[in-house]
Amino acid sequence: MKLLNKDYVPNSSGTITFAADGSDDLWILYNMIKQGDHVSSETSRKLYQNNAKTATRVRVNMSIKVMAIDYDKQASTLRVRGKTVSCDVGGGAASGTFHTIEIKPNLPFDLTKKVWDSGAMELLKQCCSGRSNGEQVELAVVLMQESTASVHLIGRSSGSRLCAKVERKKNDVATFFTSVLNYFVEFVNLDNTRFAIIASNGCVKNQFLEFLVTESKKRRIMSITNNISKIALINVNSKQSLKDVVESSEVKKLVSGSIDAEETEVYRAFSNALDSGKACYGTRSVEMAVELVAVEMLLITDELYKSCDVGKRRKYENLVEDVKKSGGSVRVFSSETVNGKELGKMTGVAAVLRFPVPDLDDLEL
């Protein structure tokens, strides 16, 4: 999620300009935008111009007071319906008429609230973290050249997010590296990141890695010093982009091997627990186990956790939150991997339990 402009006060009014990076960002916005909020964006509307007998569709900038909102994951679109507050084209829309603004990835829009309450602030924090709850960041990428650098976060299903850009001034390498490191520390938590890639041509990547290791030890940045093994160096030429880095054979091999190994280990632990009576599967059984605070680890496929069905998605998000609140951990499986497909055959949701709970399906709470 890109936050292009911020003019708000927590627990008071204000406006934030957003641009979503993908469908997961749109889901967060779907939960953030409420009735009575104002949404302003470029949109299209049919207008009668110059006394014409037929209307033509033109681009206008419009603000509406929100009445309803719909989330369409498959189309990667939010449809925000409301009453017109203002329009920058004369005769574009009378105040109080209805209009629907479609919000898509990379389309900037303003969201104005009378009160940015604690719920909205928590979702805003989630926007800035670069991931939705329960999802590990697949990659952090530092893309470097001699005089520029950029820091990116990439989720398995949430797409990429540009976190920061840095430009080197004159020959001040130390200041340049310090700025890049500061942004890396601000946006990247290696404890929750599968791998970090430092990519450049020449020896810039090697020099920066040496600087990063030395400085993190000096500053006692434990999330870096404890996870140096997660950092890999990739050679790129000056014309290669983030997409080239992510789709390179080295990175694909690195990530796919890690995902398979991690999911295999977790699924094996679940299978062993199932044999000893300390596991369950199926929505009802898992929900009952959560009610009993018996879940040590929840296993769920991304097909359920990121469902296109709004009600189903909210249901499983709430289940994930309940597990985390009770001190349990969550593992989201890719539906495309071998272990993810096996979990899908077992309803797509399962749990390793803290203690055996016989006949979960027959319990009533």
Q: Give tens-digit pLDDT for 157-172.
A: 555 677 788 988 877 8
Q: Give span(s): CATH 3.30.420.60, the chain.
A: 140-247
Percent of the chain with pLDDT over 90: 52
2-129 classified as CATH 3.80.30.20: no
The DSSP H or E segment spanning 343 is: helix 338-345
**Rounded distance, CA 199 to CA 90, Å?**
50
140-247 classified as CATH 3.30.420.60: yes
Q: What is the pLDDT of residue 129?
A: 58
The residue among 52 and 130 whose pLDDT is bigger is: 52
Q: What is the pLDDT of residue 119?
A: 86
pLDDT at 91 over 60: no
Q: What is the pLDDT of residue 191?
A: 84
Q: What is the pLDDT of residue 92?
A: 55
Query: Are residues 193 and 142 in contact, defined by beta-carbon separation less than 8 angstroms?
Result: no
**Rounded distance, CA 37 to CA 17, Å?**
13
Angle between helices 118-129 and 23-32 (to 10 degrees): 170
pLDDT in tens, 150-160: 998 887 655 56
Q: Give span(s): CATH 3.30.1330.30, the chain.
A: 258-362
The residue among 41 and 254 whose pLDDT is bigger is: 41
Q: Give span(s): CATH 2.30.30.870, the chain.
A: 2-129
pLDDT in tens, 235-289: 988 676 888 888 888 888 887 777 778 889 999 999 999 999 999 999 999 999 9
pLDDT in tens, 333-358: 988 888 999 999 999 999 999 999 88
pLDDT at 73 over 50: yes
pLDDT at 360 over 80: no
In this prediction, residue 134 has a pLDDT band, given cuts at 50, 70 and 90, of very low
User: How large is the average pLDDT for residues 59-71?
Assistant: 93
Overall pTM > 0.75: no
**41 CB-contact burial (10 Å; exposed 0-12 / middle 13-18 / buried 19+):** buried
User: How large is the average pLDDT for residues 22-44?
Assistant: 91
Structure tokens at 125: 């924090």
pLDDT at 50 over 70: no
**Rounded distance, CA 105 to CA 111, Å?**
15
The residue among 289 and 74 whose pLDDT is bigger is: 289
Q: What is the pLDDT of residue 126?
A: 74
The residue among 52 and 189 whose pLDDT is bigger is: 189
197 by DSSP, 3-state: which?
strand
In this prediction, residue 40 has a pLDDT band, given cuts at 50, 70 and 90, of very high
CATH topology of domain 258-362: 60s Ribosomal Protein L30; Chain: A; (3.30.1330)
Range of weakest confidence among 226-230, 261-265, 310-314: 261-265
User: How large is the average pLDDT for residues 70-95?
Assistant: 84
DSSP 39-96: EEEEEEEEE--TT-SS-EEEEEEEEEEEEEEEEETTTTEEEEEEEEEEESSTTS--TT
User: How large is the average pLDDT for residues 134-149?
Assistant: 80
pLDDT at 303 over 70: yes
